[in-house]
Structure 1
Amino acid sequence: MLPGLLRSLDEHPRLVLEAPPGAGKTTQVPLALLEAPWRGDGRILMLEPRRVAARAAAGFMARQLGQAPGETVGYRIRFESKVSARTRIEVVTEGILTRMVQDDPTLEGVAAIVFDEFHERHLAGDLGLALALDVQSQLRPDLRIVLMSATLDGEALARFLDAPRLTSAGRSFPVTVAHFPARREESTTAQLRRCITEALEKHPGDLLVFLPGQREIAQALAALGAEGAIASDIQVLPLHGDLSVDQQTAALSPDPQGRRRIVLATNVAESSVTLPGVRVVIDLGKAREPRYDPNSGFSRLETVAISQASADQRAGRAGRVAEGWAYRLWPQSQRLEPMRTPEIAQVELAGLALELAAWGSDALRFPDPPPSGAMAAARELLQRLGALDTDARITPFGRRLLALGTHPRMAAMLHAPTLPGDTALACDLAALVEARDPLRERSDALAERWQALAAFRSGRTPGQANRGALAAIDAAARQWRRRLRCEAPPPADVPAHHLGDLLAHAFPDRIARQHPADPRRYQLANGRMARLFDDSVVFGEPWLVVTELRFESRDSLVLRAAPVDEARLQRDFPERFFEGDVVRWDAEARALLSRRERRFDRITLESKPAGRPDPALAAQALTDAVGELGLDALPWTDALRQWRERVRCLREWLPDLGLPDLSDETLLATRARWLQPAFDGKTRLDALDEQTLGEALRSGLDWSLRQRIDTLAPRRISVPSGQERPVTYALGSAPVLAVKLQELFGLADTPRVADGRVPVLLHLLSPGGKPLQVTQDLRSFWLNTYPEVRKEMKGRYPRHPWPEDPWTATATHRAKPRGS
Structure 2
Amino acid sequence: MTRTLPIHDAIPALIDALRGRGRAVLQAPPGAGKTTVVPLEMLRAGLVTGRILMLEPRRLAARAAAERMAQTLGEGVGETVGYRIRGEAKVSRATRIEVVTEGILTRMIQSDPDLPGIGAVIFDEFHERSLNADLGLALCLEVAGALREDLILLAMSATLDAGPVARLMGDVPMITSEGRSYPVETRWRDRPRRKGQRFEDGVADLVTEAVAETTGGVLVFLPGEGEIRRVEALLKGRVPPECLIRPLFGAMDFAAQRAAIAPVTQGRKIVLATAIAETSLTIEDIRVVVDGGRARRARFNPGSGMSRLVTEPVTRAEATQRAGRAGRVAEGVCYRLWTKGEEGALQSFPPAEIEAADLAGLALELALWGAGPADLPFLTPPNPGSFTEAQALLQMLGALDARGLITDHGRALAALPLHPRLAHMLAVAGPDAAWMAALLADRDPLGRGAPVDLSLRLMALRDPRAYAERPPHPANRGAVERIRTEAKRLARQAKPATPPLSDAECAALAYPDRIGLRRKGDAPRYVLSGGKGAVMPEDDPMAGARLIVATDLDGDPREARIRQAMQISEAEIRALFADQIAWQDVCLWDRRERRVLMRRQERFGTLILDDRQWKEAPPEAVARAMLDGVRDLGLNWSDAARRFKARVMLCRDSIDGLPDLSDAALLEGLEDWLLPYLKGVKSAQDWKRFDMLEALRARLTWEQMQALDRAAPAHFTTPLGRRIPIDYGSDPPEITLRLQEMFGQTTHPLVGGTRLRVTLLSPGHKPVQTTTDIPGFWDSSYAEVRKEMRGRYPRHPWPEDPREADPTLRAKPRK
> If the TM-score is normalised by the length of the shorter chain, which range does it land in?
0.5 to 0.7
Q: Please identify, of 46-55 and 521-530, the stretch whose mean Cα deviation from structure 2 is larger.
A: 521-530
Tell me the CA shift for residue 522 of structure 1: 5.1
- What is the distance in 1 between the residues matched to 2:77 and 2:263? 20
The reply to whether residue 353 of structure 1 matches residue 353 of structure 2 is no
1:72–1:88 Cα contact (<8 Å) kept: yes
The reply to whether residue 336 of structure 1 matches residue 346 of structure 2 is yes
Which structure 2 residues correspond to residues 326-475 of structure 1 after superposition, within 5 A? 326-334=334-342, 335-362=345-372, 363-417=375-429, 422-423=432-433, 426=436, 430=440, 434-435=443-444, 438=447, 440=449, 445-447=453-455, 457-458=465-466, 461-465=469-473, 467=474, 469-471=475-477, 474-475=480-481
1:295–1:551 Cα contact (<8 Å) kept: no
Which residue is equivalent to 2:148?
140
- What is the distance in 1 between the residues matched to 2:220 and 2:521? 57
1:80–1:580: structure 2 CA closer, same or farther, 3 Å change rule?
A: same
1:411–1:253: structure 2 CA closer, same or farther, 3 Å change rule?
A: same
Q: Which amino acid aligns with 2:422?
A: M
The reply to whether residue 571 of structure 1 matches residue 582 of structure 2 is no
Q: Which amino acid aligns with 2:72?
A: Q
Give SS of 2:340's match: coil
| Structure 2: gaps of 5 or more residues | 1-9, 495-500, 621-626, 628-669, 675-815
- What is the distance in 1 between the residues matched to 2:535 and 2:259? 51
1:108–1:198: structure 2 CA closer, same or farther, 3 Å change rule?
A: same
1:596–1:609 Cα contact (<8 Å) kept: no
Which residue is equivalent to 1:175?
184
Which residue is equivalent to 1:116?
124
- What is the distance in 2 between the residues matched to 1:210 and 1:587? 52
Tell me the CA shift for residue 400 of structure 1: 2.7
1:536–1:685: structure 2 CA closer, same or farther, 3 Å change rule?
A: farther
- What is the distance in 2 between the residues matched to 1:184 and 1:586? 48
- What is the distance in 2 between the residues matched to 1:342 and 1:15? 21
Q: Which amino acid aligns with 2:25?
A: V
- What is the distance in 2 between the residues matched to 1:117 and 1:85? 27
Give SS of 1:417's match: helix
The C-alpha deviation readout for 1:765-805, integer Å capped at 9, x for no partner, is xxxxxxxxxxxxxxxxxxxxxxxxxxxxxxxxxxxxxxxxx
Residue of structure 2 aligned with 1:102, choices 107, 110, 126: 110
The reply to whether residue 79 of structure 1 matches residue 90 of structure 2 is no
The reply to whether residue 19 of structure 1 matches residue 38 of structure 2 is no
- What is the distance in 2 between the residues matched to 1:580 and 1:348? 33
Q: Please identify, of 361-370 and 403-412, the stretch whose mean Cα deviation from structure 2 is larger.
A: 403-412
Which structure 2 residues correspond to residues 319-718 of structure 1 after superposition, within 5 A? 319-334=327-342, 335-362=345-372, 363-417=375-429, 422-423=432-433, 426=436, 430=440, 434-435=443-444, 438=447, 440=449, 445-447=453-455, 457-458=465-466, 461-465=469-473, 467=474, 469-471=475-477, 474-485=480-491, 498-513=502-517, 523-528=527-532, 537-538=541-542, 543-549=547-553, 560-578=564-582, 598-604=602-608, 605=610, 608=614
Q: Please identify, of 547-556 and 502-511, the stretch whose mean Cα deviation from structure 2 is larger.
A: 547-556
Q: Which amino acid aligns with 1:511?
A: I
The C-alpha deviation readout for 1:148-191, integer Å capped at 9, x for no partner, is 11111012222232233222214433322111465786655555
Q: Which amino acid aligns with 1:311?
A: A
- What is the distance in 1 between the residues matched to 2:356 and 2:319? 21
Which residue is equivalent to 1:7?
16
Give SS of 1:458's match: helix
Provide the TM-score with structure 1 as the length reference.
Answer: 0.65
- What is the distance in 2 between the residues matched to 1:581 and 1:184? 58
Which structure 2 residues correspond to residues 25-424 of structure 1 after superposition, within 5 A? 25-36=34-45, 39=48, 41-164=49-172, 165-180=174-189, 188=199, 191-226=202-237, 229-230=239-240, 232=242, 234-243=243-252, 245=254, 247-256=256-265, 260-292=268-300, 299=307, 301-334=309-342, 335-362=345-372, 363-417=375-429, 422-423=432-433
Tell me the CA shift for residue 410 of structure 1: 2.3
1:62–1:585: structure 2 CA closer, same or farther, 3 Å change rule?
A: same
1:89–1:360: structure 2 CA closer, same or farther, 3 Å change rule?
A: same
1:45–1:92 Cα contact (<8 Å) kept: yes
Q: Which amino acid aligns with 2:292?
A: L
1:350–1:378 Cα contact (<8 Å) kept: yes
Q: Please identify, of 271-280 and 45-54, the stretch whose mean Cα deviation from structure 2 is larger.
A: 271-280
User: Matched residues, percent identical?
Assistant: 44
The C-alpha deviation readout for 1:560-601, integer Å capped at 9, x for no partner, is 54332333333322331345789999999xxx9999875423
1:279–1:325 Cα contact (<8 Å) kept: yes
Tell me the CA shift for residue 240 of structure 1: 3.8
Give SS of 2:491's match: coil
The C-alpha deviation readout for 1:367-396, integer Å capped at 9, x for no partner, is 111111111111111222222222222222
Q: Which amino acid aligns with 2:427?
A: H
Tell me the CA shift for residue 517 of structure 1: 11
- What is the distance in 2 between the residues matched to 1:99 and 1:294? 26
Give SS of 1:135's match: helix
Q: Which amino acid aligns with 1:65?
A: L
- What is the distance in 1 between the residues matched to 2:509 and 2:107? 24
Tell me the CA shift for residue 505 of structure 1: 0.6
- What is the distance in 1 between the residues matched to 2:381 and 2:464? 45
1:105–1:587: structure 2 CA closer, same or farther, 3 Å change rule?
A: farther
1:53–1:536: structure 2 CA closer, same or farther, 3 Å change rule?
A: closer
1:540–1:282: structure 2 CA closer, same or farther, 3 Å change rule?
A: closer
1:216–1:532: structure 2 CA closer, same or farther, 3 Å change rule?
A: closer
The C-alpha deviation readout for 1:243-267, integer Å capped at 9, x for no partner, is 555554454454446x554333332
Provide the TM-score with structure 2 as the length reference.
Answer: 0.65
Give SS of 1:330's match: strand
- What is the distance in 2 between the residues matched to 1:524 and 1:476? 31
Q: Which amino acid aligns with 2:385?
A: G
Give SS of 2:35's match: helix
Tell me the CA shift for residue 328 of structure 1: 0.8
Give SS of 1:15's match: strand
1:411–1:487: structure 2 CA closer, same or farther, 3 Å change rule?
A: closer
Give SS of 2:510's match: coil
1:498–1:564 Cα contact (<8 Å) kept: no
Which residue is equivalent to 1:673?
none
Task: Compare CA radii of gyration and give the structure with the larger one.
Answer: 2
Q: Which amino acid aligns with 1:15?
A: A
- What is the distance in 2 between the residues matched to 1:106 and 1:27? 26
2:65–2:281 Cα contact (<8 Å) kept: yes
Give SS of 2:530's match: coil
- What is the distance in 2 between the residues matched to 1:365 and 1:306? 28
